[in-house]
Amino acid sequence: MCNPFNLVIADEDFHKGFNNIYDRALANSLRAIFKKHALLFEGLDGEYDIPKAANAKTVRDFDEGLTRVSFGFRSVDDYYSNSSSSDSIKNVSIPLLCIQADNDPIAPSRGIPREDIKANPNCLLIVTPEGGHLGWVAGDEAPFGCPWTDPIVMEFLEHVHNETGSTSKNSVANEPQGVPKTSVPHLSEHV
């Protein structure tokens, strides 16, 4: 849910308008987590820029100082370009439900690999016009009740579980273990 499929696009949009507030808030949270574990990075070899991570004003600063080095990337741009899940959608071989909001400031709609998702029978995409980043509230109990996405996700998982159970009983010897063939469900309408 609310996956920033394309990290290059997400990074570009993160620096526009109101999104700067999200960027600073996430950077602040990352700094707070990092400071609790900073001692683990003392004396490490490599290109770590500990002061940059510890004082990051943006997620990009944090990723440049710490994240990209931790995963062996030459730069933050290299990290974003080569770590985007949009590149993997065509290879998804198990059921995947993607729920996105068109107005998500962290996971931009323009970064959704719609054609790859549409072409992959294992993938199901739901895009709502509103919702922001994980802000799907609905019903009489909103904003304190469960979001409308909860029953959709449960229905999807129940379908996958039921399909997996019936498929594993009839599995073919050539199927990879633990990856039974299932179909993406047709979800009932929840209002």
Domain range list for the chain: 7-84, 87-166
- One-letter amino acid at 12 equals E
CB-based burial of residue 83 (10 Å sphere; 0-12 exposed, 13-18 middle, 19+ buried)? middle
Out of 23-32, 50-59, 174-183, pick the least confident: 174-183
CB-based burial of residue 190 (10 Å sphere; 0-12 exposed, 13-18 middle, 19+ buried)? exposed
Q: Is 99:149 a contact under the CB 8 Å cutoff?
A: yes
Give per-residue burial for 90-104: e unless 16+ CB within 10 Å, then b: eebeebbbbbbbeeb
Of the two residues 187 and 24, the one the predictor is more confident about is 24
What is the C-alpha to C-alpha distance for residues 125 and 12, in angstroms, rounded to an integer?
A: 23
Is it the case that residue 88 has pLDDT exceeding 70?
A: yes
pLDDT given at position 146: 79
Torsion of CA 29, 32, 33, 39, to 10 degrees: 150
**Residue in 124, 127, 149 with CA at minimum distance from that of residue 136:** 149
What average pLDDT does range 154-177 have in this prediction? Answer: 68
What average pLDDT does range 91-108 have in this prediction? Answer: 94
pLDDT given at position 166: 67
What is the C-alpha to C-alpha distance for residues 136 and 147, in angstroms, rounded to an integer?
A: 5
pTM: 0.78
Q: Is 160:185 a contact under the CB 8 Å cutoff?
A: yes
What is the C-alpha to C-alpha distance for residues 39 and 35, in angstroms, rounded to an integer?
A: 8
Calculate the average pLDDT of the chain.
86
